[in-house]
Amino acid sequence: MSNSIAENIANFLKEYPPFNYLRHDELIQVTTSIGVVNLDKHKVLFQIDDKLHDSFYVVASGVINLSVIADAEETLLNKCYAGDVFGLRPFFAKNNYMMTAKAREDSIVYAIPINVFKPFVAQNPQVLDFLLESFATNTRNPFDKENRGKLITDNVYTENQSNEIQYFQSLAYNKTPLKIAANTAVKDAAQLMTENLIDSAIILENNYPIGIVTDTDFRTKIANGRFPISTSVDKIMSAPVITVPENVSVAEAQLLLLKYNVSHLCVTLDGSDKSEVKGIISEHDLIVAQANNPGVLIKEIKRSLSPKELKMVREKLTDLIQTSIAKNIPLPHIYNITGEIITAIIKRSVELAILDLGSPPSRFAWLSIGSQGRKEQLLLTDQDSILIFEDVAPEKYRDVKDYFLKLAKRTTAILEKVGYQFCPNGHMASNMLWCKSLSDWMKQYNNWMKTPGEKSNDISSIFFDYEIAFGEGKIEDAISDLIFKNTKNNALFFDYLGNDALRKNPPLNFFKKFNLEEEGEHKGKFDIKNKAIMPLVDGARLFAVSLNLRGINNTYSRFKQLALIDPKFSEIYLNCADAFLILSKFRTLEGLKNDSNGDYINIEELTKVDREKLKNALAPMRELEDLIKDKFQLTQFS
């Protein structure tokens, strides 16, 4: 390739990561070996199960669609524009391509030979981190029902592996676990575990795992005399067993341990409990693999006896979030881990309040609402919650409510000392409006949904984003049942929600410039929360409720699931999912940099590339707005 062409390509690439991390002379070394590929509209560059190429690709012009096969249909996973990197599988995996790359329009892509670029990956951690993030994003299949919400992990084979890639590495674990039959006597199982110097055994039935027995089971169920040592292990085992596939990553394993509150995972051939056992993962394996283990924070939370101790854990969580962002760990994983830890903090705060006040007079549920309920709270923002206690006899109602108001006030006071400010709108369980019986809450939701707008000051859409943090799960289920029952043939309610979702000021003005604040302490800054992120949050909630999407509160996950259940508009939903992550990352970086809530961005401090990235992330909002107008009758509240 001539020097002038190589120079022109280098000048193009230096505007985009990861090439902007390279020196000019290094870029020239790369560009002199680049191949230029012209693709006509609908031309396939590679497709599912093709053998891996010896290059990866960068879009020079046009658009490349990346698609996967789901339910016998080809479904769009991602769109790549000028400067976007794709086709990274040859870097990190040895098996064939798992997606198809096809030109959406006449396009030009640069083919960068892997053997030429690999030395710069080994020498530059920033380049490695970017490629890992891109690979993890492009290999995640949101339409895989078995793995939805997880990272689809591939074995990583790069040179000079470092701690930065531990979230993408396959996890080292015991691949020769002790396997015993369900009718094995406890004393025999203990003897086998002692002889093998291990603390656990997998219980099999018909060669499939049905449970796990550990040293803890022996201490808590045998040593105290609850069961004789002659009993069979199936009487004391932990079941059902939580199973994972062989290529599970540190990130996936950690999340499952947190979610199911278990200490061991069973590795099977296909990740289900109906296949051959291949190993066992313990908490110790994760601690060895991941020095900064979120599980450690969970344990510290459970041991905490004061708000001060909980605050120290929250400060460690901030450090973990900052480190994870710096390592380019995908935001959905950071949301998941952070959400579990924050929920544990809230739960412990309620427990400390109960220890102070005494046992509750009835069963109840503490629900986080808003960003906490969506598990999207990476920064220290205000707290939002409601408390629902079960129905009691009329003569007991006042005393029961008085107790729960006191409990809520102590809990919110603890959380305030941890660093979560009181909600300025009073959306907290300590407010007597939001602390009441199940019947009263049912009436509240009925009023909101059947006569929206009549008491508009009382309704906030955040009450439809909730997650139980403490208490009786059946109470949360009762609220969910009522909400989805009331959605049927309820055009008036969706009219209200739809108009509420469109009520925010547009992020860009007529001239496609950012709509900045015109006065006040944030004059000249861009309100990324209210003008960019919240319209996506509101839109995701609106469609999730209207399509009866239960149990998924996170905005990113909602859009991904909506793309599956409403495939006609999957491209819009996927665009919104990507936009939400990009905008959320901008906000999080701003908040971490300035120790703030990150709501206001100084556009002038952004690089040209970041300004364009931010502006491009706002584009799907118009598509979402048009879809809302098209799908719902927005008349009465317009």
Determine the pLDDT at residue 444.
92
Query: pLDDT band at 550, cuts 50/70/90?
Result: confident
What is the reported pLDDT for 268? 92
pLDDT given at position 520: 85
Q: Are 514 and 603 in contact (CB under 8 A)?
A: yes
Alpha carbon distance 50, 577 (integer Å): 28
> Please, which pLDDT band fits residue 459 given cuts at 50, 70 and 90?
low
pLDDT tens digits, 387-428 = 999 999 999 999 999 999 999 999 999 999 999 999 988 899
pLDDT tens-digit map of 247-269? 777 767 776 776 677 889 999 98
DSSP structure class, residue 291: S
Least confident of 140-149, 332-341, 604-613: 140-149
Cβ atoms of residues 369 and 346 within 8 Å: no
CA pair distance 604, 470, nearest whole angstrom? 44
- Measured CA to CA, the distance from residue 307 to residue 457 in angstroms comes to 33
Tokens read off for 410: 């102590």
Placement of tokens 């709509």 in the chain: 515
Residue 152 — left, alpha, or beta (φ > 0 → left; ψ -120 to 50 → alpha)? Answer: beta
Dig out the tokens for 416 from the structure. Answer: 């305030």
- Chain centroid to Cα 70, Å, comes to 21
pTM of the model: 0.58
3-class DSSP state for residue 437?
strand
The pLDDT score that the predictor gives to residue 513 is 82
Structure tokens at 443: 């009436």
121 in Cβ contact with 51 (< 8 Å): no
Assign 343 a pLDDT band (cuts: 50, 70, 90): very high
Among 443, 435, 521, 514, CA closest to 479: 443
User: Cα(407)–Cα(430) distance, rounded to whole angstroms?
Assistant: 8
| Per-residue model confidence as pLDDT tens digits over 74-95 | 667 778 888 889 998 887 666 6
352-391 pLDDT tens trace: 999 999 999 999 999 999 888 998 888 888 899 999 999 9
Q: Does an H or E element contain 320, and which? A: helix 307-326
Residue 539: predicted pLDDT: 93
pLDDT of residue 422: 92
52, 97 contact by CB (below 8 A) = yes
Q: What count of other Cβ atoms lies within 10 Å of the Cβ of residue 335?
A: 22
Q: Long-range pairs for 591-597 at CB < 8 Å and ≥24 separation? A: 591/378, 591/379, 592/318, 592/321, 592/322, 592/325, 592/379, 596/379, 597/379, 597/380, 597/381, 597/529
Q: Look-up: residue for tokens 């769009």?
A: 76
Burial label for 3, CB within 10 Å (0-12, 13-18, 19+), is exposed
pLDDT cut 70: percent of the chain above it: 87
What does the pLDDT average to over 571-579? Answer: 92
Cα 138 from Cα 134, distance rounded (Å) = 6
Q: What is the pLDDT of residues 199-236, one digit of tens each?
A: 899 999 988 999 999 888 888 888 878 888 888 999 98
Higher pLDDT among residues 290 and 507, named by residue: 507
CA distance 303 to 437: 31
DSSP category for residue 532: I
User: What one-character DSSP code corresponds to residue 206?
Assistant: T
Report the percent of the chain where pLDDT is more than 90.
Answer: 39
Instruction: Give the pLDDT of residue 170.
Output: 47
Contact 202, 212 (CB under 8 A): yes
Contact 593, 538 (CB under 8 A): no
Closest to 433 (Cα-Cα) out of 451, 459, 454: 459
pLDDT(31) > 50 = yes
Q: Are the CB atoms for 600 and 632 separated by under 8 Å?
A: no
- Please, which residues have CB within 8 angstroms of residue 191's CB and are 6 or more apart in sequence? none
Q: Decide if pLDDT at 611 tops 70.
A: yes
Q: Contact at 8 Å (CB) between 422 and 382?
A: yes
pLDDT digits (tens, 9 = 90+) for 128-186: 767 766 665 554 332 333 332 222 222 222 223 333 334 444 466 888 899 999 999 99
Residue 1's pLDDT band, with cuts at 50, 70 and 90, is low
> From the CB of residue 11, how many other CB atoms can be counted at a distance below 10 Å?
12
The pLDDT of residue 626 is above 70: yes
Tokens describing residue 110: 């640069």
How far are the Cα atoms of 66, 87, 531 from residue 136, in angstroms, in the given order?
14, 12, 29
Mean pLDDT of the chain: 84
Alpha-carbon distances of 91 from 23, 96, 128, 153, 328, rounded to whole Å: 21, 12, 10, 14, 17
Taking residues 517-525, report their average pLDDT.
86
> What are phi and psi for residue 4, nearest 5 degrees?
-65, -40
- DSSP letters, 213-259, are EEHHHIIIIITTSSS-TTSBGGGT-B-SPPEE-TT-BHHHHHHHHHH
* Helix%, strand%, coil% for the chain, nearest 5: 50, 15, 35
